[in-house]
Amino acid sequence: MAKIIVACGSGVATSQTVASKINKLLSEKKIKSTVEAVDIKSLDKFIKGADVYVSIVRTNKSFQIPVINGIAFLTGMGQDKEFEKLVNAIKEADAHKAG
């Protein structure tokens, strides 16, 4: 099962809201995954076990895993496209784990 992490400045408001939206969209599609909201300061710790990173804040780092634009899930602008990217990344991660 793919693990998705969402990070914002505090892990309280924005990231939790985006995580909840993604959870809802994924369960509507019957895609199983775990979605976790974390604060940006603990991103390094949590990203190790994650398959997809949903980004709400800017970082200068590069990541080994796919990065999805989380703001789309907040405003609804471009949400379909980002969600499609997310679903593809989850499928890829699941296939990789099965193989």
Partner 1 sequence: MANEDVQEFDVFFKPDLVFRDVEYPDTSVFFRKIADVLEEKGYVQPTFYQAITKREENYPTGLQTASVGVAIPHADPVNLKKPFISVIRPKNPIEFSPMGGSQDDPKVKAELIFVLGVTRDGLQVKVLQKLMAMLSDESLTDALIRAGSDRETLKIIETFFTGKKATVG
Is residue 13 near partner 1 by the rule CB under 8 A? Answer: yes
Q: Are 5 and 44 in contact (CB under 8 A)?
A: no
Between residues 8 and 86, which has the closer beta carbon with respect to partner 1? 8
Q: Can you tell me the distance from the alpha carbon of 18 to that of 24, in angstroms, rounded to the nearest whole number?
A: 10
Distances (CA, A) of 95 to 46, 73, 91: 21, 25, 6
Range 29-88, binding partner 1 (CB under 8 A): 40, 55-58, 69-71, 74-77
Angle at 85 between CA 95 and CA 61, to 5 degrees: 95
Residues annotated catalytic, as ranges: 8
Q: Can you tell me the distance from the alpha carbon of 43 to that of 15, in angstroms, rounded to the nearest whole number?
A: 12
Least Å from the CB of residue 70 to partner 1? 8
Between residues 74 and 87, which has the closer beta carbon with respect to partner 1? 74
Scanning 6-14, 28-36, 44-52, 88-96 for contacts with partner 1 by CB under 8 A, the matching segment is: 6-14
Binding residues vs partner 1 (CB under 8 A) = 8-10, 12-14, 16-17, 20-21, 40, 55-58, 69-71, 74-77
